[in-house]
Amino acid sequence: MRAFEYASPKQKQQAVGLLGQQWGDAEVLAGGSDLLALMKDDIVHPKRLVNVKELPELRGITFNASRGLRIGSLMTLSEISEDAQVKEHHPMLAHAAGEAASPQIRNVATIGGNMCQRPRCWWFRNGFGLLATAPDGKSLVLQGDNRYHAILGNDGPAYFVSPSSLAPALIAYNARIRLFGPKGPREIPLEKFFVIPKSENEREHDLRPNEIVTDVIVPAPPSGVKASHYEVRQKAAFDWPYATASVVLDMNGDTVRSARVVMSHVAPIPWVSNEAAQALAGKTISEQTADAAGAAAVANAKSLGRNKYKIKLAHVAVKRAVLQAAKGGQA
């Protein structure tokens, strides 16, 4: 790891002031579980780390009926998965947080850091850049072993997959993210926080080099909502999934009034499937309608050569999440 200077500001204005104008100057240290590994591998090499863990306003989980849930960006995945309010109002989120990574990681990894987690793409993690472009301008992903790469939103030049399994659950609940920068706070739909970079100079988040994540706001779901998060994985514990689906069904009796279907690990961003949502609207849930939603979710998917199997896995993830939700799921 390269040497850096370290500061622990006590106010968020100071934290922002200590961050740089451009990427590479400084990085935000929260849980550090992703950042320190990236620094050891020399993928990022900031001159300064700004530890935000001494900013008390970034802590806390509160719920009220009108605003919904407010989760401070420093809250760890353990704290979120065990919080009584999260379990009561947003059980799918508690479930997704409890399934991520390992006990040791969940004890330090924060929700803010999870939103800002960098892709696990093996070219990126081995120093070939976010877009993994060869000197001749061709994509290493398209030429190489792309078994874990994107099946949706993969028109290039980015082919990595979004690594967060919390983000799709949050987006399915229509969460918003609050950021703080030199010009003050801004709040955007979490869905819009994730962007597909078009050049090597861009990042995969709508976060400026001198902004920090302060909170995530999750609206209270209407009563009668059923939700479920399903992950297809190689291993039962401590693994990034092949494909996940988070489904929120707003029910009118046995009929779906409207649905939100969000997949992850299938595209460079958490992938909101309006096609799957439309396939479910007005339907009662059965094996057939759930399967049709899965098929609709991957109707536009395409293989890069070695990841065709992920199309089937994403289809099945959506189908099983829908069936699980209809049975009561995690909600």
Partner 1 sequence: MSDQDSPKDSGISRRKFLKISAITTSAPLVLGPTVLEVEGQEVHVFGPGKVPIALNVNGKRLTANLEPRFTLLDALREKFEVTGPKRVCDRGTCGACTVLLDNKLVYACSVLAIEAQGKQIVTTDGLAPQGQLHPVSAAFVDNDAQQCGFCTPGFVMATKAFVDKHPNATPDEIARGLGGNFCRCGTYAGIKGAVAQLSGQQQKGGA
Query: Shortest CA distance to 98 belongs to which of 162, 161, 34, 169?
Result: 169
At closest approach, how far in Å is the CB of 328 from partner 1?
Answer: 20
How far is 173 from 161, CA to CA, in rounded Å?
21
Binding mask 223-252 for partner 1 (x = CB under 8 A): -------------xxx--------------
Name the segment binding partner 1 (CB under 8 A); options: 41-49, 140-148, 159-167, 184-192. Answer: 41-49
Name the segment binding partner 1 (CB under 8 A); options: 11-19, 137-145, 217-225, 309-317. Answer: 11-19
Residues with Cβ within 8 Å of 144's Cβ and at least 6 positions away in sequence, in order, are 123
Q: Cα-Cα-Cα-Cα dihedral of 156, 161, 162, 164, to 10°?
A: 180
Q: 10 Å Cβ neighbour count for 255?
A: 13
Name the segment binding partner 1 (CB under 8 A); options: 43-51, 133-141, 201-209, 309-317. Answer: 43-51
At closest approach, how far in Å is the CB of 72 from partner 1?
Answer: 17
Binding mask 68-97 for partner 1 (x = CB under 8 A): ----------x-------------------
21 part of the interface to partner 1, by CB under 8 A: no
How far is 186 from 178, CA to CA, in rounded Å?
6
Mapping DSSP to helix (H, G, I), strand (E, B) and coil, where does residue 200 land? coil
- One-letter identity of residue 101: A
Residues with Cβ within 8 Å of 54's Cβ and at least 6 positions away in sequence, in order, are 8, 9, 10
9 part of the interface to partner 1, by CB under 8 A: yes
Name the segment binding partner 1 (CB under 8 A); options: 98-106, 193-201, 244-252, 268-276. Answer: 98-106
How far is 261 from 248, CA to CA, in rounded Å?
7
Q: Which is nearer to partner 1, 68 or 72 (CB)?
A: 72
29 part of the interface to partner 1, by CB under 8 A: yes
14 part of the interface to partner 1, by CB under 8 A: yes
How far is 231 from 72, CA to CA, in rounded Å?
25
Q: Which is nearer to partner 1, 4 or 128 (CB)?
A: 4
3-state helix, strand, coil in the chain (%, to 5): 30, 25, 45
Among 23, 59, 70, 108, binds partner 1 (CB under 8 A): 108
At closest approach, how far in Å is the CB of 206 from partner 1?
Answer: 24
Binding site for partner 1 (CB under 8 A): 1-11, 13-14, 17-18, 29, 32-33, 36-37, 39-41, 47-49, 51, 53, 78, 101-105, 107-108, 236-238
